[in-house]
Structure 1
Amino acid sequence: MTVRVMLVSPAMNAALREARFEGDGPLDATGARQARAAANTLSPAARCVSAPSLRCRETAEALGLGLGLRAEPEPALGDWDMGRWRGRRLTEVSESEPEAVSAWLTDPSAAPHGGESLTALCARVGGWLESLPGDTESLLTVTEPAVIRASMVRALGLPVEVFWRLDVAPLTLTELTGRAGRWNLRCGRPLGRAGGE
């Protein structure tokens, strides 16, 4: 059976606007309004899961309610663990630790922040993706942009370094269809526009 995984990035909040590492918090007013409006533009799903962050849970609630679904928590979809950089802005870390940021950006196995390396993130997310039961018809997933990027890398068997070349905007849909070991990708459809137009 073909599995359909709809990966949706959370709507906007202050931490996303400020480019903070793992900066969680509630959706801002604009993000909440856009998430509610987007609910009617998604295809039906059999199930809905959400990353643990507040911004993902709030986005999932808004989208799931429009589809008649309640989001279940999924810890494996949690954001990239940034260790001691958590909550800080990229610009501020780049100024205080330029060598560490350079290593983080160029070596997929580096974790100068004391958290999760890019290689470990991709392995964690890939493990979750490959563990989906074959009878999973359609799954709406609201998760962090880094997790969506790692999903694309693993699903398509891309070199880990490609992660840095993928962009995931707030409140966009990336779809994977297939099954463990063979996935097809449809990425970046903005939500909130009927029919994706």
Structure 2
Amino acid sequence: MMATKVWLISHAANAALRAGVLSAGISGADEPVESLDARAVEAMDAWRARWHAPILASARGAARVLTSPAEIAQASATAAGFEAVVAPALAETAYGEWAGRRLIDIARGTPDALAAWTRDPAFRPPGGGESFDDVRARVGAWLDALPQIDEAIVAFTHASVIRAAVLHALGAPSATFRQLEIAPLSVTALRRTAQGWVWMAALT
């Protein structure tokens, strides 16, 4: 069986992420503040020096590069030295009425709803938001639909998407989603085998 390998890269942290502002998600709107500020550019330079060559070497020099529709993900892919194609399935969670708001403000206004969101993978933010289960279904369908060929895919996306991909690969309960910490610019690798998807330790 041909091996499909997927490198999932969590996008750089911009000012919005550092301020705890929820992304506009799959709505198509841009981030509420600049995409890559000076701190993000510096972090991307270090990431590129560390990861660009090893990932391409693992892919034998050729990889299909994809990105979330979000501006921050596209900017991260460009800064990492890749030309990427937008893949809607890699979009950030849709946060409904919470999109563009700070978590601290949501906690002050609707603490019970925010608490439910942090515990219950089936909870949907008000105003048409996605639950973690929704994101997992979207991402799992994308993974399973990838062609079974000897190919490497590099995907610049979001922490929620990477959590969903890892739990899908492991067949782990969605209730464990908050036990996975995905840091900005972290690298997660998955590989398809005859038994399904497996998680791989990142290069050291």
Shorter chain as denominator, the TM-score bin is 0.7 to 0.9
Could you list the runs of 4 or more consecutive aligned residues of structure 1 that deviate by over 6 angstroms after TM superposition? Answer: none
Rounded Cα–Cα distance in structure 2 between residues aligned with 1:48 and 1:84: 31
3-state SS of 2:154 partner: strand
Amino acid at match of 1:6: W
Look up the SS of the partner of 2:181 in the other structure: coil
Alignment of 1:138-157 (within 5 A): 138-157=152-171
2:85 matches 1:62? no
- Confirm or deny: 8 A CA contact 2:66 2:154 kept in the other structure: yes
Q: Which residue of 2 aligns with 1:6?
A: 7
- Given the superposition, is the C-alpha separation of residues 33 and 180 from structure 1 closer, same or farther in structure 2, using an over 3 Å criterion? farther
Task: Pick the aligned partner of 2:121 from 97, 105, 108.
Answer: 108
1:64-108: CA deviation from partner (whole Å, max 9, x where unpaired): x2xxx4100111100000000001111110110012112222322
| Aligned partner of residue 116 in structure 1, secondary structure | coil
> Does residue 1:93 correspond to 2:106, yes or no?
yes
Q: For residue 21 of structure 1, what is the aligned residue in structure 2?
A: 22
Q: Which amino acid aligns with 1:156?
A: L
1:95–1:168 CA distance, 2 compared to 1 (3 A): same
**Structure 1: segments with no counterpart, 5+ residues:** 190-194
Answer yes or no: is the 8 Å Cα contact 1:79–1:147 preserved in 2: yes
Q: For this pair of structures, how many residues does the alignment match?
A: 186
- Verify: 1:165 aligned to 2:193, yes or no: no
- SS in structure 2 of the partner of residue 149 of structure 1: helix
Could you tell me how far apart the structure 2 residues matched to 1:85 and 1:112 are? 7
Partner-residue secondary structure (3-state), 1:48: strand
Give me the TM-score of the superposition, normalised by structure 1: 0.87
The 1:129/1:96 distance shift into structure 2, 3 A limit, reads: same
Please tell me the residue identity of whatever aligns with 2:140: G
CA deviation after TM superposition for structure 1 residue 13, in Å? 0.4
8 Å CA contact 2:163–2:180 kept in 1: the answer is: yes
User: Which deviates further from its counterpart, 110-119 or 51-60?
Assistant: 110-119
Aligned residues of 1:130 and 1:180 also touching (Cα < 8 A): no
Other-structure match for 2:44: 35
Match of 2:147 among 133, 141, 147: 133
Shift of 1:39: 2.2
Q: Considering only aligned residues, what root-mean-square deviation do their CA atoms show, in Å?
A: 1.8
Structure 2, unaligned runs of 5 or more: 25-30
Measured after TM superposition, the shift of residue 186 of structure 1 is 3.0
